[in-house]
Amino acid sequence: MFSLCIPTMNRFDTFLKENLKKYLKNEYINEIVVCDENGEDIKKIKEEFPNNDKLKLFVNEKRLGPFLNKIKACQKAKNE
């Protein structure tokens, strides 16, 4: 089983919406970790994909930047 780690900021409409649909159907991905820099994407994900156990959603308390946000997402993952 695999974890998919996605650092994000304001990419719901351009990336996350369509791709999360595909990722959620993938039987090899059992966890999708999303770390959001400002919380806007997380709000939209919760509206579009309510009560999905595969999704692990985190909002950063402060902006970390792309590199540190990616590291945080990987640290939150439970699988490889």
**Domain residues of the chain, as ranges?**
2-76
Q: Which residue has the tokens 């695999």?
A: 2
Angstrom distance (rounded) from CA 38 to CA 19: 20
* 9-48 pLDDT, tens digit each: 999 999 999 999 999 999 999 999 999 999 999 999 999 9
Q: Residue 22 carries which side chain, given as an amino acid letter? A: K
The model's pLDDT over 47-64, given as tens digits with 9 standing for 90+, comes to 999 999 999 999 999 999
Q: Does this model's pTM top 0.75?
A: yes
**DSSP β-ladder status, 29-36 and 55-59:** parallel
Which residue type occupies 34? V
Number of Cβ within 10 Å of residue 54's Cβ equals: 17
